[in-house]
Chain A
Amino acid sequence: KNQVEQSPQSLIILEGKNCTLQCNYTVSPFSNLRWYKQDTGRGPVSLTIMTFSENTKSNGRYTATLDADTKQSSLHITASQLSDSASYICVVSLNAGNMLTFGGGTRLMVKP
């Protein structure tokens, strides 16, 4: 069964600190992996996309990594800001049409 597991479920950090969110998946055949950020009460917004051949991709203070061999991805947030408080959702796409598998999300809270 195709699954996407995210850890931790929730995380609290102090403003200015770094953090890393994890995503493990069993989806096969793999097409791409996206990280979405969902602010409270809003819809998710795409942060990064990674395909099979990509190991790392940055979007400002967000850096995503992908290890296709171990089927793991991480999202690293550098110098966190209060506005980073949100849920982060990992979504893996099957190599067939629009079949997506969503992780349960990590809820990040950045405190001043």
Chain B
Amino acid sequence: DVKVTQSSRYLVKRTGEKVFLECVQDMDHENMFWYRQDPGLGLRLIYFSYDVKMKEKGDIPEGYSVSREKKERFSLILESASTNQTSMYLCASNRGIDTGELFFGEGSRLTVL
């Protein structure tokens, strides 16, 4: 059964803390994505990666960075968390650039106090 696994389902952090969100996929997919999902705004792309050590900014990259040292792992980093980064974070992966079905993780709900 194919799977995208996000390390933490729920996190509570304080303003200014550094936050790591980890995502691992077991489908040998080339592409991996980080989205945030907020009520009324839908899913918005933060960063994506189409290969190891490659990364591209999405629509809302400010305040975030990413790391992809291995094909199966894509990390989202909040260098200094702020309250407006309280959100649901979804990791996804897919293969290539054809019909591109996204396979999502279960999500990480981050609360920044």
Contacts and interface: CB of A to CB of B under 8 A. Distances in A.
Interface string A40-82: 0111111001010000000000000000000000000000000
The A interface, classified by DSSP as helix, strand, loop or mixed, is: strand
A41 B48 CA distance: 22
B21 to A, nearest CB: 14
B60 interface: no
Interface stretch (B12-20, B39-47, B65-73, B77-85): B39-47
Interface string B72-106: 00000000000000000010101001011110111
A45 B104 contact: yes
A104 B102 contact: no
A32 B98 CA distance: 10
Contacts of B42: 89, 102-105
Contacts, number: 49
A32 B102 CA distance: 13
B101 A43 contact: no
Nearest to B9: A41
A43 B97 contact: no
A100 interface: yes
A97 B43 contact: no
A42 B106 contact: yes
B65 to A, nearest CB: 20
A103 B40 CA distance: 10
Contacts of B107: 41-43
Contact of A43 (B50, B92, B99): B92
B24 interface: no
Those 4 A-B pairs whose CB atoms lie nearest each other, nearest first? A43-B104, A104-B42, A102-B43, A102-B42
Given A41-B106, A43-B4, A98-B48, 4 more contacts: A43-B107, A44-B90, A49-B99, A102-B44
30 contacts: A31-B99, A32-B99, A32-B100, A34-B101, A41-B106, A42-B106, A42-B107, A43-B4, A43-B90, A43-B92, A43-B105, A43-B106, A43-B107, A44-B90, A44-B102, A45-B104, A46-B101, A46-B102, A49-B101, A89-B43, A91-B102, A98-B31, A98-B48, A98-B94, A98-B97, A102-B42, A102-B43, A102-B44, A104-B40, A104-B41
